[in-house]
Amino acid sequence: MNFTLNASAKWLIQASLGVEDPNTLLDKFSQNRKVDDPTRSLLLTFYGILVVIGAVGNALVVLSVVRKPAMRTARNMFIVNLAVSDTLVCCVGTPLTLMELLTKHWPLPDWPGLCKACGAIQAISIFVSTISITAIALDRYQLIVYPTRQGLQTMGALITMFIIWVTAFALASPLYIFRSLKTHKVGFIGMDILSFCIEDWPIANGRAIYSFFSLIFQYVLPVLVVVVAHVQIHRRLRGRRRTTRKTPAILIAIAVTYVISWLPLNVFNLVADFSQDAILDEKTLTITYAVCHMFGMSSAVSNPLLYGWLNDNFRKEFEEILCCGRKKGQTTEKLRAKNKKMDTELTALAQIEHTVTANTKTSQCSQIF
């Protein structure tokens, strides 16, 4: 059978040089799958676990502050902001990244705005999360190292949160501006048109330059701020008698977790974007990126633990939320047991009263006769 290939089909074949089996290539595009079924299932499982745990943990943080007016402090607003951004990472950013990892071409409707928004949303959620962690570290530094200075009020916290989101939008804007939807008319049966959501940078090495600046603003600067702030906090607290051993461990855990979580993804992006040739084959590249990305997304899972559960007030709220159903059941059972005990006591009391009454009557009759 002879095929007449147009320019788009030739481009598709040229872009896929090195594939040993043409049928495998056609199957991947027709099924829109980049990896085999076992790898696909494994990635779906691990990403699903991260999404569920991260979404539940961050929802608990937000709910703890919403349900109790006493929890709506200026400092807790930063933690809520972090939880909201991490929820966005889990529920929107991570599924979109997984979609791009598993598919060969654009699976969503051919809307250019949707393609642009997908890239921007992923970046915005990550930038807000990392900048929020930086803001929390600076706020704790100011509170502990300079306790005599006036603390941050609610309005100041809201203004700071607004600045965080505006900064995140600005840092992510290149992914919206230079991301575009390219449509190719292939002409194969069942694959007449294929669409690809790609980054089309106007200058050479544009993506590499953006990755370098992202590394600076999303990783290097936040790491420096978090580490330096927590070192100064630890030094300040070291001489205080009321400081528990748990405090330094929490500070170390926050800094180490942030460094470990985001290091693999930033190194991978830097190496991949500055390399002229493909560093790995498609399957290995996909799996490697997925592992690095999951390390980064694990911060959305660990943040509710570090900033929520290890905080006594948040932990109390978590326990109330998670145990409310069980407590209601326990209360019902206790009430039933109490009523049963009361009925038993009333029965016994009635019997005693009957006996006493009978004895009294007998005694009275004896006296009369």
**Which one is predicted more confidently, 319 or 359?**
319
Same domain, 220 and 348: no
Cα distances (Å, whole numbers) of residue 63 to 7, 58, 158, 308, 324 = 55, 9, 18, 12, 13
Same domain, 223 and 273: yes
Mean pLDDT of the chain: 80
- How many independent structural domains does the chain possess? 2
pLDDT of 1 > 90? The answer is no
Cα distances (Å, whole numbers) of residue 330 to 46, 324, 326, 333, 334 = 35, 10, 6, 5, 6
Same domain, 87 and 169: yes
pLDDT of 244 > 50? The answer is yes
Average pLDDT score over residue span 250-258: 84
Same domain, 113 and 79: yes
Same domain, 61 and 153: yes
d(CA 199, CA 178): 6
pLDDT of 245 > 70? The answer is no
Same domain, 192 and 272: yes
The domain in which residue 73 lies consists of 29-323
Residue 10 is assigned to a structural domain of this protein = no
Task: Tally Cβ neighbours within 10 Å of residue 179.
Answer: 19
Same domain, 286 and 314: yes
CATH label of the domain that carries residue 290: 1.20.1070.10
Same domain, 60 and 84: yes
Same domain, 268 and 351: no
Average pLDDT score over residue span 299-325: 85
